[in-house]
């Protein structure tokens, strides 16, 4: 029997999560391409894998079922329709030209499922392409990528997010990440684990990334708009969750369009049913527009929206959640320490249950403040994983959480 899939909050006990163990794609990073591929440095791959294995083990030890994206993708690459879809997406690149597109299609089409999954994730370099030909191929350098690698795939939160029992396959803004959604689409469409799951969003729509989507409470969704998610993406998601009866309120929260605050979850994450850890520098300035709809649910993108605001985010969130106030964990950080720990994903925690969260061990001051506030912290190493600017929440896509009582 297929296990259920449903997520209605950030803190309901986590039962199933989707991770991706970093692999050969990280070995493609060099000082020449790491900026383009959205990494701040060249990670030590073996250590990054050790850190990720420890993260997965910590989840398993707490009763969480861990699904690995690479394994699921390998299994669906035995399905002809899935193979055709992801290969077509991989070669849909104007850099290549028609001749090299045909040659790359033939190369990928001839691979066994496990080799194809590996090639789609780690990329295909010029010298690895069997049957390469054409002007574009001849003019490439030996180390150039015909199919670029996806080193950010380990941040599984961004390419899909579950809202209730439906999955939003997102539209990633950065060219280096755009193809990730094709792989998650293939898995959710063709893997028997997700048979019958309705898809709430799609990669062809306005830019929307999962790191900007927080399920503050059942029926209440916060969406950050900034560097990665556009107002149009937030509006489209709002219409769809209202149309399908998945939420009654969407809070649209503008955030600075900077790398340090690329997603809403780099600024704040929920750690209890009424509490979040938040970057102190924005706690008083963050604003939200409250979006609702009075129309009856109807599966369409034409739902009329009512927009109110802006008002302080914490006030708007508490009202939507039906509570007196939303507690903010006071980290008590001086400005320099606050900026350092925010950069090191100190606010990017993964809640395993109310008052139980995974965090990077290096953010000692933030973690101490969480513990003081009654939040148990499972501290994990992340010195190499963090080079891609992502913490425990970024690296995890919850598939099943218990509903809050």
Active site residues: 394
State whether the Cα torsion 355-52-40-137 is positive or negative. negative
- pLDDT score for 343: 47
- pLDDT score for 256: 77
- CA pair distance 86, 120, nearest whole angstrom: 8
Count of CB atoms situated within 10 Å of the CB of 286: 22
C-alpha R_g of the chain? 21
256 vs 394, higher pLDDT: 394
Percent of the chain with pLDDT over 90: 71
pLDDT band at 301; cut points 50, 70, 90: confident
pLDDT band at 149; cut points 50, 70, 90: very high
- CA pair distance 314, 328, nearest whole angstrom: 9
Q: Is there a cis peptide before residue 107, judged by omega within 30 degrees of 0?
A: no
Helices 97-109, 113-122: crossing angle, 10 deg rounding? 140
Average pLDDT over residues 312-331: 92
Average pLDDT over residues 22-42: 79
Sheet holding 356-360, edge to edge: 350-353, 356-360, 376-380
* pLDDT greater than 60 at residue 337: no
- CA pair distance 331, 343, nearest whole angstrom: 15
* pLDDT greater than 50 at residue 51: yes
- CA pair distance 256, 286, nearest whole angstrom: 10
Give CA separation, 405 vs 13, 198, 218, 263, in Å: 11, 25, 10, 29
Chain mean position to CA 349: 13
In the chain, what are the helix, strand and coil shares in percent, each to the nearest 5? 35, 25, 40
What CATH topology corresponds to 54-68+151-401? 3.75.10
* pLDDT greater than 70 at residue 247: yes
- pLDDT score for 283: 76
**314 contacts 332 by C-beta, under 8 angstroms:** no
**184 contacts 177 by C-beta, under 8 angstroms:** no
Q: CB under 8 Å to 10, separation ≥6 — which residues?
A: 214, 215, 216, 269, 270, 351
pLDDT band at 62; cut points 50, 70, 90: very high
Average pLDDT over residues 234-250: 96
- CA pair distance 209, 228, nearest whole angstrom: 6
- The pTM (predicted TM-score) of the whole model is 0.93
* Per-residue pLDDT tens digits for 71-110: 999 999 999 999 999 999 999 999 999 999 999 999 999 9
Which residue ranges make up each domain of the chain? 54-68+151-401
Sheet holding 249-254, edge to edge: 213-217, 220-225, 249-254, 287-292, 306-312
Average pLDDT over residues 115-140: 94
- pLDDT score for 389: 66
- pLDDT score for 1: 46
């Amino acid at each position: 029997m297929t296990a259920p899939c449903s997520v209605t909050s950030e803190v309901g006990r986590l039962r199933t999560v989707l991770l991706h163990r970093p692999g050969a794609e990280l070995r493609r990073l060099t000082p020449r391409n790491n900026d383009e591929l959205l990494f701040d440095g060249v990670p030590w791959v073996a250590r990054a894998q050790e850190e990720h294995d420890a993260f997965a083990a910590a989840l398993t030890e707490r009763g969480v079922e861990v699904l690995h994206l690479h394994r699921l993708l390998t299994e669906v690459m035995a399905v002809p329709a899935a193979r055709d879809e992801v290969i077509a997406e991989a070669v849909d690149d104007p850099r290549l030209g028609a001749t090299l597109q045909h040659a790359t299609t033939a190369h990928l089409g001839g691979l066994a499922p496990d080799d194809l999954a590996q090639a789609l994730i780690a990329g295909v370099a010029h010298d690895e392409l069997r049957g390469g030909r054409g002007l574009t191929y001849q003019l490439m350098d030996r180390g150039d990528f015909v199919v670029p690698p996806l080193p950010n795939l380990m941040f599984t939160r961004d390419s899909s997010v579950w809202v209730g029992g439906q999955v939003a396959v997102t539209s990633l803004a950065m060219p280096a990440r755009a193809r990730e959604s094709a792989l998650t689409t293939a898995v959710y469409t063709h893997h028997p684990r997700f048979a019958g799951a309705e898809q709430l969003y799609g990669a062809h729509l306005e830019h929307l990334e999962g790191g900007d989507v927080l399920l503050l409470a059942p029926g209440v969704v916060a969406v950050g708009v900034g560097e990665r998610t556009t107002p149009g993406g937030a509006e489209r998601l709002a219409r769809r969750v209202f149309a399908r009866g998945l939420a009654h309120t969407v809070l649209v929260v503008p955030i600075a369009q900077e790398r340090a605050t690329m997603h809403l979850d780099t600024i704040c994450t929920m750690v209890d049913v009424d509490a979040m850890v938040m970057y102190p520098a924005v706690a008083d300035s963050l604003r939200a527009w409250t979006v609702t709809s009075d129309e009856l649910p109807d599966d369409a993108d034409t739902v009329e929206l009512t927009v109110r605001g802006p008002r302080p985010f914490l006030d708007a969130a508490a009202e939507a959640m039906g509570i007196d106030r939303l507690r903010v964990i006071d980290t008590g950080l001086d400005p320099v320490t606050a900026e350092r720990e925010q950069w090191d994903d100190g606010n990017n925690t993964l809640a395993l249950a109310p008052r139980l969260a995974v965090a990077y061990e290096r953010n000692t001051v933030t973690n101490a403040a969480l513990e003081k506030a009654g939040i148990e912290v499972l501290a994990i190493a992340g010195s190499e994983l963090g080079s891609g600017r992502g913490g425990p929440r970024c690296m995890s896509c919850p598939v099943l959480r218990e509903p809050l009582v």
